[in-house]
Structure 1
Amino acid sequence: MSYRSFVILAGFSVALCFGLGCSQNQPVTETLVESEFADQLLAPMNYLGAIAKQAPDAVFRSQGPGVRKAVVQTRLPDGQTMTLWIYQPDPLPQSKVPCVFIAPAGTMMIHGLQLADGDSPEHLPWVKAGFAVVAYELSGNADAENSTDAQLKSAAEKFRQAKSGLLNAQIAMAYAREKVSFVNPQQFYTAGHSSAGTMALYVAEMEPQVKGAIAFMPAVDIRASLGIDGITYVQNAQIVPEAGVYVNGISPLTHIHRLSQPTFLFIAGDDRSDITGPADSFGKKLREMGNDVTIVRVPSGGHFDPMLDPGIPMAIEWLKMITQSN
Structure 2
Amino acid sequence: MRFLGISLLSFACLGLGSPSAFSQTPTTFREARKNHKTNLFYAPESPPSSTFDLVHYASPLGPMSAYVTPDPSDGKKHPAIIWLVGGLSNSIGANLWEDGEPSNDQTASAYRKAGVIMMFPSLRGGNDNPGHREVCFGEVDDVIAAAESLSKLPYVDPERIYLGGHSTGGTLALLVAGSTDRFRAIISFGPVHTVAGYGQEVLPFDATDTQELVVRAPIACLSEIQSPTVVLEGTENGNIESLELMRKACQNPQVKFHSIPSATHFNILAPFNDLFARKILKDTDPTPELQLTEKEILDTVKLLSPEK
Query: Normalised by the shorter chain, which TM-score bucket?
Result: 0.5 to 0.7
SS in 2 for 1:166: helix
Aligned partners of 1:264 and 1:280: how far apart in 2? 13
Aligned-pair identity (%): 18
The answer to whether the 8 Å contact 1:166/1:203 transfers is yes
Which residue matches 1:204? 177
Shift of 1:276: 0.8
Paired residues, number: 231
Say which of 254, 258, 261 aligns to 1:291: 254
Equivalent in the alignment of 1:166: 140
Equivalent residue of 2:134, what SS? helix
Alpha-carbon displacement from aligned partner over 1:239-266 (angstroms, at most 9, x marks no partner): 4125542122211111111112111222
Secondary structure at the aligned position of 1:135 is classed as strand
Separation in 2, partners of 1:172, 1:290 = 27
**Matching of residue 85 in structure 1 with residue 62 in structure 2:** no
- Distance between the aligned counterparts of 2:123 and 2:232, measured in 1? 23
Alignment CA distance shift 1:118-1:244 (3 Å): farther
Distance 1:240 1:123 in 2: 30
Kindly indicate whether the alpha-carbon contact (under 8 Å) linking 2:162 and 2:183 is maintained by their aligned counterparts in 1. Answer: yes
The one-character-per-residue Cα deviations of 1:7-51 (angstroms, maximum 9, x if unpaired) are xxxxxxxxxxxxxxxxxxxxxxxxxxxxxxxxxxxxxxxxxxxxx
Distance change (3 Å), C-alpha of 1:173 and 1:289: closer
Unaligned stretches of 5+ residues in structure 2: 1-46, 101-106, 288-308
Provide the C-alpha distance between the structure 1 equivalents of 2:55 and 2:134, rounded to a whole number of angstroms.
23
Gaps in structure 1 of 5+ consecutive residues: 1-58, 64-68, 143-154
The aligned residue for residue 280 of structure 2 is 319
Matched, 1:188 2:161: yes
Correspondence 1:303 to 2:293: no
Deviation at 1:141, TM superposition (A): 3.0
Q: Could you say what the CA RMSD is over the residues aligned between the two structures, in angstroms?
A: 3.0
The residue aligned with 1:76 is 59
The answer (yes or no) to whether the contact 1:214–1:264 under 8 Å persists in 2 is yes
> Given the two structures, how large is their TM-score scaled by the length of structure 2?
0.65
Q: Is 1:241 paired with 2:215?
A: no
1:175-229 Cα deviation digits (max 9, x unpaired): 1123x11111112211011111111111111122112100111113222x32xxx
Report the equivalent of 1:36: none
Matches within 5 A, 1:124-135: 124-135=109-120
Aligned partner of 1:61 in structure 2 is 49
Q: How far apart in 1 are the matches of 2:220 and 2:61?
A: 28
Measure how far apart 1:289 and its partner are. 3.0
Whose relative contact order is higher, 1 or 2, with alpha carbons under 8 Å and at least 6 apart?
Answer: 1
Query: TM-score normalised to the size of structure 1?
Result: 0.62
Give the conservation status (yes or no) of the 8 Å contact 1:219–1:278: yes
